[in-house]
Structure 1
Amino acid sequence: MPSIKSAALLIATTTILLGGLTSKTTFAASTQDKDDKHATLEEGKLRLYEKKVDSLLLERAKSQALDTTNLAIDLLDNEEMVKSDIPDSVFIKRLSSIPSLIDLPYNNVVRASILWYVIRKKNISEKILGLTGYYFPIIEQTLDKHDLPLELRYLPIIESALNPVAVSRVGATGLWQFMYGTGKQYKLNITSFVDERRDPLAASEAAAKFLKDLYKIYNDWTLVIAAYNCGPRNVNKAIRRAGGSKNYWEIYNYLPKETRGYVPNFIAAAYLVKFYKEHKLTPRSMPLPQSTDSIHVNRMLHFQQVSEVLGISVDELRELNPQYKKDIIPGIERPYTLTLPMGFAPNYIAKEEEIYAKDSLYFVQNNFPKLMAANSSTSQTSDLGTKKVFHKVRKNETFSSIAKKYGIEVAALKEWNGFSSKKKKKLQKGMRLTVYQASPLLAQKNEKPLTGESLGSKKSTSSPSDSIKIETVKDLNISPNEPAKPYLGSAQHEKGTVIQYTVKKNDNLWTIAQKYKGVTPKDIQKENRLHSPKDLKVGQILKITID
């Protein structure tokens, strides 16, 4: 710490400078109206003042630069300083043994950061170590692609503790903690449904480009790391105030306080990953697979559709796909990636039609009717099996009596209308309730009432075998290679029935029309707004109304 005498000298010198500047500035202001050149003169004097103050600050920093104990106290509060009997020589030897393109020096600030990770925050560190097995390969692959030092993989540890959905108090989001503007600048897609700042792969790609741009400015990885945290403007200001020095430890005092601990924490993170065993830390087992498969999705898809058919929990899908904020992949916008545990991709492909057949159940529950594959605006009946109606509460009616009337469960009725079971809110006469009923297409298979789980409740704990089986035209296609068969139930022949048909290989309008009595190729073309019969594509969904 500087002595009282030196501190007093600094204050006195600064006061003299301020006094001189004040008197000269007043003069310049009094004559400004007479001649505009005085404004330029005043700016010059301001720059001269800043230069003199910077030089005083530089001298002060040099006087204490070797005493990094002061820097460590400045970094952490006294009660956070961790004591350890491990000698400095051990840390120095271990850090020097780590092969790294980025300088990993040792001093009291670095020591304080290392002890913070391996002693005070032991539980957090063990969780971080458990997450490295899943996230590091993703990050390293991207860094290698851009020919960047692989040691930069430690940045997400100090940014987010390897939490892809982490959000800071100022809104920085994801593993790499991108702010909204920076994320957009580096082409990360941020919408109501998707936030690619939370996508480990997309965010790592953006971070690699950002780090590469910063290196073009500083040509020094330590300064790049500092600039990643506080921005180039603050680093440039610190360099200028340090007399032009580009040594991190010489500009340390001029950086924002949170950035002063950033590089030491980076060094500590590198130490943690390499030497955690020496401190008897055990990586915590995390619910993430070591290997994954990826599927490209080009239609609207809800996680619960995949969960119910493939038997993967929604929580696991969220862990593997943190970028989807509403559990919905908006594939109609553009193709998006769905990450699955290794070995599930073939099963997904084989059961794709069954998965998509459940879309109405989940999009109705989430109040996204426009996102359903088909939805009649007049009757509000989905061709995939649900009908939305409204019920006006009468005197003496209860949830139980209303649920019984419509063949649904009480829990589902409460969910659809925002009633929390904990609040025990009572029904009142005249209330308008939303009810989802089974359409005629469900008649043969729906032997039990609709539940909140079957309509996509996030609280569902039921297994796929407990869910309602919905029989639609697509369910009757025994194999993907077998031609579509019309539904044989009485509802199929009712006038106005709407069918959803998936175009298959070798289909044309004529062969499709032949499957349904009273339907012509022109009917299909007109109803689906096809400019030409040749516009059909395999996998395309056609809407067919039986007249």
Structure 2
Amino acid sequence: MHKSLTCLLIFSMLILSACAKKYQAENDDMRPNLDPELAHPDFLKIKRPRPLTKQEKEALASKTDIPFNLDVRETEEVQQYLTYFTQERRDTMEKWLERAAPHLPYIRAVLATYKLPPDIIALPFIESGYNTMAYSPAGAGGMWQFMPATGRRFGLSVDWWEDERRNPYLATVAAAKYLAELYNLFNDWNVALAAYNCGEGKMSRVINQSGHTDFFDIAKNPNLLKQETRNYVPKFLAVLKIFKNLDTLGFKTVNWGAGQVLEEVSVPGGTDLAALAEACSMNWEEFHRFNSGFRRQVSPPDRQSPVYVPVAKKELAMAYLANPSCHASRGIKSYTAAGQDTWWNLSRRTGVPIAALRQMNPTVGENVAPGQTVYIPLDSSAQDTALANLDDIPPRADAQRLQTHRVKKGESLAAIAKRYGVSQADLARANGVKSGKGVASGQTITIPVKAGAACPPMPVPQAQAQAPQAAKTVAMKKGLTLAEVAKTNKVDVQAILALNGLKSAGDVKQGMTLKIPAEAVQPQLAAQAQAQAGKLAALAKGQPQPAQQQAKAQPAQQPQPAVQQLAKAQPQPVQQPQPAVQQAKAQPAVQQAAKPDPKAPQQAQVKDSRKPSGPIQYKVENGETVWSIARKFKVDPIALLSWNKLDRTAHLKPGDRLTINVD
């Protein structure tokens, strides 16, 4: 009996060890990697601060949008963190600021859309250091450090294929919704921020247990909250004050134009992302920087996914999606099954879960037949080692990309082969069936790529897209007004303020050097882009490709990152002083701003100080918003609303006509 128990125990330990190794292999990209200032609260052994400099005193006394009622003790804690990040860990703060720059304009716009205080823009600093790929030891992930369950609750996919907590656009929208919910629950931003750290359930129990509703009263009792949560609000406030006083404290000011303009392209399930990157003349590392949410070099087979590419690469991406079979496979390895192969041993040898293999190969049945082609997705690392134990078999010529067809009632194998221009024998061989055997209605079969199929040439990006215009600068001399600068350079006042990170004309001082946005894009360029997309769609019709129909139907103007998700959002209104209208505007040469919430209270129209010089009439197309149209013509969205006597809650419909003033 004793020997039996010993053997059972040893066997169980071996099984658990094997499972642990497999989990580690499958989740190698999710290992904890937070900066030590964030990952280890005990690391912050802050000494009693030295006397503050004049600049630090000014920063500490600066006002914030969120009201903080601090006593002497809490003010001292804020002071400790402020000196810690301006002196001992100044290099860390500088690294975080550089990392944050491309994301700040988009986050500011989303916060304005959800009626959240602009100060929340400092929250990702103390959560992740603005690292989109950050993971904590507890399993929180992404820039906003969502736990998996919380992320899924707010619409983020977290599975073997992708982790949308790492998608800065979708995760920012989810964070805005979560913060709005927390504020509506506790009606206090100090408590809401602490609850973001420890969870609303924990904070609710602490309030009931202590009888206190003020965060700083709760924080005085070390038995109620962990030290990390007790320090959370003072640390947030210190970093916020640093961020709002960068120039005063000697930090390099934020470059609000650091982000690259990206276009969102919807790709069908099972898209070879590495091949798409190559078609766009990008290496995988560069592509994955823009699309960090993907955990594999293949998009999830069961759903469409948004992909972000630079504006100049969009035509290349659309051309690839119209004809993916014309490109060599890069993110998918094809393997010809041998006689002893099963799903289980293929999963064991490749490190890919059986469920993922079955998703990737819907035409292969319960048993893998010898000679059948099995498609293996590669992970998101540039050098995938998961396939090291497979025989080194070169990819078959007909294994460029998974293309399928669902058999309709009455269809035969011969009819399907004729429709797709392939031989019946090749079609039968690709699906492991005899050539003369019938196929069942509703069955999904793989379509092999026709050897030697003619492929249309890849489009050459427009020279204008390859060489973006550099922003001009103007020195503000005595007597020169912002309105005169805007009129002389034929741009909107609000656009100048936004590009320079200013809230109002009152912030412009004599001697200041202002950046001037590039001129509005000519409408004929937009027409050329639409014409090119039409040509690509016509070329794609030369050979039936059901698996890519939705990709071919992409409109010429794609929505910008996360705009579609924002359109679906239903945020609860937050009873907080409304942020300035300027905060919500799209920034020149950075990611797309968020779409205004149709349920938000109406705000007063913003009058445009620029006189129209070249009005055109534009017909709204399906899926377009004020924000996407403004980006299309490189005009200020607030000005676009003003020109058409619309407020920020306006919802456009296909066929609506807008007046657009361009030069």
Aligned to 1:276: 246
- The C-alpha deviation readout for 1:304-335, integer Å capped at 9, x for no partner, is 212221111211221111111113222x4222
The CA deviation at 1:281 is 3.1
The CA deviation at 1:247 is 2.5
Query: Quick one: structure 1 residues 483 and 122, their matched pair in 2 at CA, closer, same or farther if it must change by over 3 Å?
Result: closer
Q: Aligned ranges for residues 347-386 of structure 1 at < 5 Å?
A: 347-355=316-324, 357-358=326-327, 360-364=329-333, 371=360, 379-380=371-372
* TM-score normalized by the length of structure 1: 0.55
Aligned to 2:303: 334
Aligned to 1:149: 117
Tell me which amino acid in the other structure corresponds to 2:310. P
Tell me which amino acid in the other structure corresponds to 2:58. K
Q: Aligned ranges for residues 151-230 of structure 1 at < 5 Å?
A: 151-230=119-198
Aligned equivalents of 1:90 and 1:283: distance in 2?
15
The alignment status of 1:119 with 2:87, answered yes or no, reads yes
Q: What secondary structure does 2:246 align onto?
A: helix
Tell me which amino acid in the other structure corresponds to 2:277. S
Aligned to 1:426: none
- The C-alpha deviation readout for 1:517-540, integer Å capped at 9, x for no partner, is xxxxxxxxxxxxxxxxxxxxxxxx
The CA deviation at 1:483 is 8.4
Aligned equivalents of 1:349 and 1:472: distance in 2?
22
Tell me which amino acid in the other structure corresponds to 1:165. M
Tell me which amino acid in the other structure corresponds to 2:279. V
The CA deviation at 1:283 is 7.0
Aligned equivalents of 1:373 and 1:346: distance in 2?
30
Q: What secondary structure does 1:435 align onto?
A: coil
Q: What secondary structure does 2:307 align onto?
A: strand
Q: What secondary structure does 2:332 align onto?
A: helix
The CA deviation at 1:298 is 1.7
Aligned to 2:68: 103
Tell me which amino acid in the other structure corresponds to 2:245. F
Aligned equivalents of 2:358 and 2:450: distance in 1?
20
Aligned equivalents of 1:321 and 1:483: distance in 2?
26
Aligned to 1:3: none
- The C-alpha deviation readout for 1:180-213, integer Å capped at 9, x for no partner, is 2222222222221021222212222222222122
Query: Quick one: structure 1 residues 239 and 502, their matched pair in 2 at CA, closer, same or farther if it must change by over 3 Å?
Result: closer
Aligned equivalents of 1:471 and 1:234: distance in 2?
60
- Which of 52, 56, 81 does residue 86 from structure 1 map onto? 52
The CA deviation at 1:337 is 0.6
Q: What secondary structure does 1:294 align onto?
A: strand
Aligned to 1:248: 215
Tell me which amino acid in the other structure corresponds to 2:66. L
Contact kept, 8 Å, 2:56 with 2:249, in 1: the verdict is no
The alignment status of 1:435 with 2:401, answered yes or no, reads no
Aligned equivalents of 2:203 and 2:191: distance in 1?
7
Q: What secondary structure does 1:279 align onto?
A: coil
Aligned to 2:273: 303
Query: Quick one: structure 1 residues 472 and 261, their matched pair in 2 at CA, closer, same or farther if it must change by over 3 Å?
Result: farther
The CA deviation at 1:301 is 1.9
Aligned equivalents of 2:175 and 2:257: distance in 1?
25
The CA deviation at 1:288 is 7.5
Aligned equivalents of 2:323 and 2:257: distance in 1?
27
Aligned equivalents of 2:112 and 2:49: distance in 1?
38
The CA deviation at 1:237 is 4.5
Percentage of matched positions with identical amino acids: 22
Query: Quick one: structure 1 residues 475 and 289, their matched pair in 2 at CA, closer, same or farther if it must change by over 3 Å?
Result: farther
Q: What secondary structure does 1:301 align onto?
A: coil
Tell me which amino acid in the other structure corresponds to 2:394. Y
Q: Where does structure 2 lack aligned partners over 5 or more consecutive residues?
A: 1-40, 335-349, 377-382, 401-448, 458-534, 551-663
Query: Quick one: structure 1 residues 288 and 433, their matched pair in 2 at CA, closer, same or farther if it must change by over 3 Å?
Result: farther
The CA deviation at 1:96 is 4.0
- Which of 317, 337, 346 does residue 315 from structure 2 map onto? 346
- Which of 280, 291, 296 does residue 261 from structure 2 map onto? 291
- The C-alpha deviation readout for 1:322-375, integer Å capped at 9, x for no partner, is 111113222x42221101123221232234335454364531168758637999
Aligned equivalents of 1:286 and 1:313: distance in 2?
26
The CA deviation at 1:91 is 4.2
Aligned equivalents of 1:477 and 1:78: distance in 2?
59
Aligned equivalents of 2:398 and 2:130: distance in 1?
49
Query: Quick one: structure 1 residues 77 and 374, their matched pair in 2 at CA, closer, same or farther if it must change by over 3 Å?
Result: closer
Aligned equivalents of 2:545 and 2:363: distance in 1?
8
Aligned equivalents of 1:275 and 1:483: distance in 2?
54
Contact kept, 8 Å, 1:474 with 1:484, in 2: the verdict is no
Contact kept, 8 Å, 1:198 with 1:323, in 2: the verdict is yes
The CA deviation at 1:108 is 0.9
Superposition RMSD on alpha carbons, in Å? Answer: 4.0
Contact kept, 8 Å, 2:156 with 2:170, in 1: the verdict is yes
Aligned to 1:517: none
Aligned to 1:263: 233
- The C-alpha deviation readout for 1:51-107, integer Å capped at 9, x for no partner, is xxxxxxxxxxxxxxxxxxxxxxxx8779532643425x7545334434413437561
Contact kept, 8 Å, 1:291 with 1:342, in 2: the verdict is yes
Which structure carries more helix by proportion? 1
Q: Whose relative contact order is higher, 1 or 2, with alpha carbons under 8 Å and at least 6 apart?
A: 2
The CA deviation at 1:418 is 1.8
- Which of 77, 84, 96 does residue 128 from structure 1 map onto? 96
Q: What secondary structure does 1:153 align onto?
A: helix
Q: Rg larger in 1 or in 2?
A: 1
Aligned equivalents of 1:369 and 1:360: distance in 2?
19
Q: What secondary structure does 1:364 align onto?
A: strand
* TM-score normalized by the length of structure 2: 0.46
Aligned equivalents of 2:164 and 2:361: distance in 1?
24
Q: Where does structure 1 lack aligned partners over 5 or more consecutive residues?
A: 1-74, 388-411, 420-431, 443-469, 487-498, 506-547
Q: Aligned ranges for residues 423-462 of structure 1 at < 5 Å?
A: 433-439=391-397
